[in-house]
Amino acid sequence: MLQHLIKLIWNRKGSHLLLIIEIWASFMVLFGVMSLVTFNLDNYRESLGFEYEQVWAIDLSRNQDTVQTADKIAKVLQRIKSYPEVEKVSQMSSNSPFSFSQMNSSISRKKTSTLSDIYYADENFDEVFDIKMKSGRWYQSSDSVAKNKPVVINQKTADALFGTENPIGKTLDDNKIVVGVIDNFKAKGEFTKNEPAFFQLMWPRSEEGKIIIKLKSGTDANFEAKLVKDLGNMLVGWTVEVSYLTDQRQNQHNMALVPMIVFAIIAGFLLLNVAMGLFGILKVNIAKRREEIGVRRAMGATEADIQKQFVAEMWVIATFAVLIGLLFAVQFPILKVFDLASGVYWVAIVLAILIIYGLVTICAFYPSRQAAKIQPAIVLHES
């Protein structure tokens, strides 16, 4: 039967050409949108690797003040620790989690190297963000006197530089020693890729950067106002800005979600359009093939046979279109366009194929039912 249908469609390829082009184009649009969706969801499945609830980032910039700035920072840190509302305090470089600031560099060991996000952070960083060690330990301020500078890397960096070796205690180029390994660290939010990360002890303390504080639950903006006022009095002429990590995370999410939603809506309208078009075309085509339906019924086809035939024909047409689409789509994983993991494209291809078949099945279902209901006695005597 399938062979029969393929023959039938092949012999009608002229009139099916537009239909095939249309389904092909739909497939390509779906492939694009699904790649984006898969990429984001794939990332979303990976955990962040740190906690951000009740965490604030205080951005300090000394502007033109140059007098005893290190001293002032030390005093400010002391002051912040003394508030009963504050649970933990840490200082780090300006590229705090969820901020729009980013720093990366190539980390190398012997012959291998990897581009990694670099964070300068003090010894309390892991506590503020409640980061669990996978192996080893977080560095301490006492490590600063050691000959080799202590660093913590995430699993991604460990994989890139050490493969299956245990990185703890091994040295990197530039006299750095790995003291700890953490799991994921997705600083720009759940929708970003889990990239290699690298933490180095901030020593001596920076005179700017960010102070990260973890608060006891129930702390509100009144404390924030007080904190900013106090800091303002201690740091005259400085710029002090408090941000909640939960807000910043939302901004990062919007960056990923808004384009995805916009594309999905546009693609949705396009597909709705195509679906209605297919529906209409099928209705017309079936009207044109009443005679054939009559003959087949007379020759012993049941209603179900007719319905199956028309749905199956759409599948065959969709298969032609999808095969052409695949020729284009497989170029993406093969040629590594856009630097996405090739798995993302394969999943997107599978999803796009499923949606296409679902779409044509839905579109073909009702017209095919109508086709099955055609009375052979009437159509066979029309001409």
Partner 1 sequence: MLLNYIKIAWKVLLRHPFYTFITLFGISITLTVLMMITSFLDHLVGSHYPEQNRDKSLYVMNLFLEDSARTSQMGGPISYDFYKKYIETLKTPKRTSVSSMITSANSYINGKRIKVSTKYCDTNFWEITNYEFLEGKPFNQTNIANGDHVVVITDAMREQFFDSSSESVIGKMVEVDNEKYKVIGVVKAGPVTRILTFSDMFFPYNLPKSNYQRTGLQGTFVAIIEANSSSDFPEIKSEFENNVSKIPVPIKMGGTKYSIIDTHAQTYTDTMLYGVFHKEIGSKFYLVVGLVLLMLMGLPAINLVNLNVSRILERASEIGVRKAFGAPTRTLAFQFIVENIFITFIGGAIALILTSVGIYIFNRSGLILYSDLTINLPVFGVSLLVCLVFGLLSGVAPAFRMAKMKVIDALKRQ
Partner 2 sequence: MITLNNIEKVYQTSTIETLALNNINIDIKKGEFVSIMGPSGCGKSTLLNIMGLLDEPTKGEILIDQKHVEQYTDKALALLRNQKIGFIFQSFHLINDLSVLDNVEIPLLYRNSSAQSRRDAAREALEKVGLSNRMKHFPNQLSGGQKQRVAIARAIVGKPDIILADEPTGNLDSAMGNEILNILLQLNAEGCTIVMVTHDESMAKKTHRLIRLFDGTQVY
Residues that bind partner 1 in the complex, under the rule CB under 8 A: 15, 18-19, 21-22, 25-26, 28-29, 63-64, 220-222, 224-225, 228-229, 232-233, 237, 239-242, 258, 266, 269-270, 272-274, 276-277, 279-281, 283-285, 287-288, 290, 382-383
Q: How far is the CB of 158 from partner 1 (least distance, A)?
A: 26
C-beta of 131 vs 274, nearer to partner 1? 274
C-beta of 67 vs 299, nearer to partner 2? 299
C-beta of 186 vs 296, nearer to partner 2? 296
3-class DSSP string for the chain: CHHHHHHHHHHCHHHHHHHHHHHHHHHHHHHHHHHHHHHHHHHHHCCCCCCCCCEEEEEEECCCCCCCHHHHHHHHHHHHHHCCCEEEEEEECCCCCCCCCCCEEEEEECCEEEEEEEEEECCCHHHHCCCCEEEECCCCHHHHHCCCEEEEEEHHHHHHHHCCCCCCCCEECCCEEEEEEECCCCCCCCCCCCCCEEEEECCCCCCCCEEEEEECCCCCHHHHHHHHHHHHHHCCCCEEEEEEHHHHHHHHHHHHHHHHHHHHHHHHHHHHHHHHHHHHHHHHHHHHCHHHHHHHHHCCCCHHHHHHHHHHHHHHHHHHHHHHHHHHHCHHHHHCHHHCCHHHHHHHHHHHHHHHHHHHHHHHHHHHHHHHCCCHHHHCCCC
Task: Name which of partner 1, partner 2, none residue 51 binds, using a CB cut-off of 5 to 8 Å depending on partner kind.
Answer: none
C-beta of 13 vs 226, nearer to partner 2? 13
Q: How far is the CB of 372 from partner 2 (least distance, A)?
A: 9
Please, are residues 50 and 97 in contact by the beta-carbon 8 Å criterion?
Answer: yes
C-beta of 236 vs 304, nearer to partner 2? 304
Q: How far is the CB of 278 from partner 1 (least distance, A)?
A: 8
* DSSP bridge pairs for 89: 213
C-beta of 169 vs 237, nearer to partner 1? 237
Q: How far is the CB of 273 from partner 1 (least distance, A)?
A: 5
Task: Name which of partner 1, partner 2, none residue 165 binds, using a CB cut-off of 5 to 8 Å depending on partner kind.
Answer: none
Task: Name which of partner 1, partner 2, none residue 241 binds, using a CB cut-off of 5 to 8 Å depending on partner kind.
Answer: partner 1
- Give the pair of three-digit tokens for residue 76: 């400010």
Q: What size, in residues, is the chain?
A: 383
Task: Name which of partner 2, partner 1, none residue 11 binds, using a CB cut-off of 5 to 8 Å depending on partner kind.
Answer: partner 2
C-beta of 42 vs 291, nearer to partner 2? 291
Binding residues for partner 2, rule: CB under 8 A, are 1, 3-4, 7-8, 11-12, 291-292, 294-305, 375-377, 380-381, 383
Task: Name which of partner 2, partner 1, none residue 18 binds, using a CB cut-off of 5 to 8 Å depending on partner kind.
Answer: partner 1
Task: Name which of partner 1, partner 2, none residue 272 binds, using a CB cut-off of 5 to 8 Å depending on partner kind.
Answer: partner 1
Q: How far is the CB of 270 from partner 2 (least distance, A)?
A: 31
Q: How far is the CB of 7 from partner 2 (least distance, A)?
A: 6
Which among 47, 34, 38, 36 is positioned nearest to 190, based on CA atoms? 47
Give the type of residue at 264.
Answer: A
Task: Name which of partner 2, partner 1, none residue 210 binds, using a CB cut-off of 5 to 8 Å depending on partner kind.
Answer: none
C-beta of 304 vs 335, nearer to partner 2? 304
Task: Name which of partner 2, partner 1, none residue 19 binds, using a CB cut-off of 5 to 8 Å depending on partner kind.
Answer: partner 1
Q: How far is the CB of 322 from partner 2 (least distance, A)?
A: 22
C-beta of 90 vs 309, nearer to partner 2? 309
Task: Name which of partner 2, partner 1, none residue 145 binds, using a CB cut-off of 5 to 8 Å depending on partner kind.
Answer: none
Long-range contacts of 313-316 (CB under 8 A, 24+ apart): 313/5, 313/8, 313/9, 313/364, 314/278, 314/282, 314/360, 314/361, 314/363, 314/364, 315/357, 315/360, 315/361, 316/2, 316/5, 316/6, 316/9
Q: How far is the CB of 33 from partner 2 (least distance, A)?
A: 35
Q: How far is the CB of 320 from partner 2 (least distance, A)?
A: 16
